[in-house]
Amino acid sequence: MCGIAGCIGYPERDRLETAIASAMRSIIAKMQNALKHRGPDDQGLYISGDRQAGLAHTRLSILDLSPAGHQPMSTDHGRYWITFNGEIYNFRQLRETLIAQGEIFHSQTDTEVILKLYQKHGSNCVNHLRGMFAFAIWDDQEKTAFLARDPLGIKPLYYWQSGSTLLFASELRTLIASGLPPKILNPKGLYTYLISGSVSEPDTLIQDINALPAGHWLQWKAGQTTQQQYWQIQFNPQPIPPTEAKEQVRQALIDSIKYHFVSDVPVGVFLSGGIDSTSLVALARQTQLGQLRTYSIAFEENQWNEGPIAQRIAETFETDHTEYILTSKVARQLMNQFIGAIDQPSIDGFNTYCVSKIAREHGTKVALSGLGGDELFGGYSSFQQVPKMVAWGKRLQFLQPLNLGRLLSQWTKNPKLQRISDFLQHPPNSFNAYLSYRGIFTHPETLQILNHFCPQQDTSTLRPTLEIPPCPSPEDEVSFLEINRYMRNQLLRDSDVMSMAWGLEVRVPFLDRVILDTIDTIPHSLRLSQGKQLLIQAVPELPDWVINKPKQGFLFPFDRWLNDPEWNELFQLNSIPQLSLTPWYRRWSLVILQKWLCNLGISLP
């Protein structure tokens, strides 16, 4: 896991070459400095001879810890240069195939494998890669740049284009640190944040800075860029007996976990006490010999504390377990650091920040997370509630002339009912129901807040849309939405940024291509059976007391901490429209936004 950045096609070509070289180096150095936390072990720069390209890299050494893994890395004759962030789990098999075809390698890294694959297959190289990745390759002969991001968007990649110039980086803040993109709020990105608690790609909170969408590549040539999608999850159910589906999932999970433990440094597991993380620990015992490290967060407040059950799981599977007890006072002391680590605001992330801290301080550089299990196996109540909302919305369409949604909004100020009234004023489809179900603020409330932050902007066309490919069932539509909205824009993004704040690599075995290729053919009646029954049956090692425990999630007692006097100063808000700020996450979302804007130097109204 690393940090990458680059500048392609510097605009001021009419200046003296020495001035151009100086400016290019200054821009790249600024971006590299902003990425130091992502790669504390090594750093490198490359600037092409004609000053058309500059690449930066900061390295967290995981595979081949020797200097042979230094980046940016080039092919033998210096034509191709790469800066790469991520892990390719099948790199050894790919390496053997390439060696059999006559390729010569100088390192034991997956980075060199990507270079050789691109040299051989061009843009099709991405279809050979199993793993998480964001990388850029500069072709110094053809003067082209190729950027790619992994299929699920596990690793981030942002870019900014102005004229013929292209900047890219692992983090939004890195692009801003270059000094080139203007720090102007993007109303569309802000809208999605207020609606859902995270910014939906490809937008960001800064105008003209975009996220390269998951499963896409981008090519720069002669100042022009083109994008292409190379992967998208599709559900194609096939008839399959339940016993066979269970065995397929089990074998895919074991295979994925085995590959996700490939590392030249210690690997641990985040253990929350739920089904997903316990499954990882249970199956890791099938593939890993010797010591297995696990890490969890515990609280003084019993209502949120899953420390005891995580401890019991650790004892059952004989792991070397570390528990971090997070009190209100300790959390408050960490909060300013956490806010300073935010790349883009979200209402989540503090959990990963805290558990990553304790893992890194105990000598672990790689940790596995159970992220993705709920989205793939139907672990959220949204899988039941969203289809119900759509069905009721369709039944109530005959009352449309009465404008039932508007009447409901006038009758109640309850935030939950306000979101339902908002849904009833839009077409009753899965996307609109999902926005309402997962929502923070309603559409009218969001426009009020937007008019406060961006008073001169036209907000009439900001409501988001998402094209859902044909799905065999409403439940599959919800799975698609959970993967492409909540998981990608919030969970994966927070997991990356908050772990990298401590120089820790987080891997997500549930989001391996082998698992996805396995589950996409399993009918929803099996795959999304309530209570994640397919996953439970695939991992019979799960104790009954884990399976039967009420689902809680990795939650923090923020609503209680809000009443602690030590937290009062943090949660003070500037003047905003008169809106209900309960439940707690509505106030929290605005506080985090306000702090982020201040840290970025964007003046508030």
φ, ψ of residue 547 to 5 degrees: the values are: -60, -40
Does 370 belong to an annotated binding site? yes
Nearest CA to 270 out of 328, 353, 189, 334 is that of 353
The helix/strand/coil state of 64 is coil
The 8-class DSSP code of residue 402 comes to G
Distance of CA 551 to the CA centre of its chain: 22
Distance CA 488, CA 466 (A): 14
Beta bridge partners of 134: 85, 149
Q: Which of 2, 354, 454, 471 is an active site residue?
A: 2
Distance CA 299, CA 145 (A): 48
Per-residue three-class SS string for 79-109: CEEEEEEEEECCHHHHHHHHHHCCCCCCCCC
Distance CA 357, CA 133 (A): 23
Does 110 belong to an annotated binding site? yes
Q: Is the dihedral of CA 489, 38, 374, 297 positive or negative?
A: negative
Query: What does DSSP say about strands 267-270 and 53-59: parallel, antiparallel, or unpaired?
Result: unpaired
The helix/strand/coil state of 312 is helix
Distance CA 137, CA 128 (A): 16
φ, ψ of residue 468 to 5 degrees: the values are: -90, 120
Beta bridge partners of 167: 7, 160
For 419, the enclosing helix (H) or strand (E) is helix 415-424
The 8-class DSSP code of residue 184 comes to -
Residues 6+ apart with CB under 8 A from 525: none
Residues 6+ apart with CB under 8 A from 460: none
Question: What is the maximal distance between C-alpha atoms in the chain?
Answer: 74
Active-site residue, 125 included: no
Per-residue b or e along 585-594, where b marks 16 or more CB atoms closer than 10 Å to that residue's CB: bbbbbbbbbb
Q: Which long-range contacts (CB under 8 A, 24 or more apart) does 585-589 make?
A: 585/197, 585/347, 585/440, 585/558, 586/415, 586/440, 586/441, 587/562, 588/347, 588/558, 589/193, 589/194, 589/197, 589/345, 589/347, 589/440, 589/441
Nearest CA to 1 out of 122, 129, 111 is that of 111
Distance CA 402, CA 205 (A): 37
Residue holding tokens 């808000």? 573
* Binding-site entries for L-glutamine: 110
Give me the active site residues, please. Answer: 2
* Binding-site entries: 110, 297, 369-370
* Binding-site entries for ATP: 297, 369-370
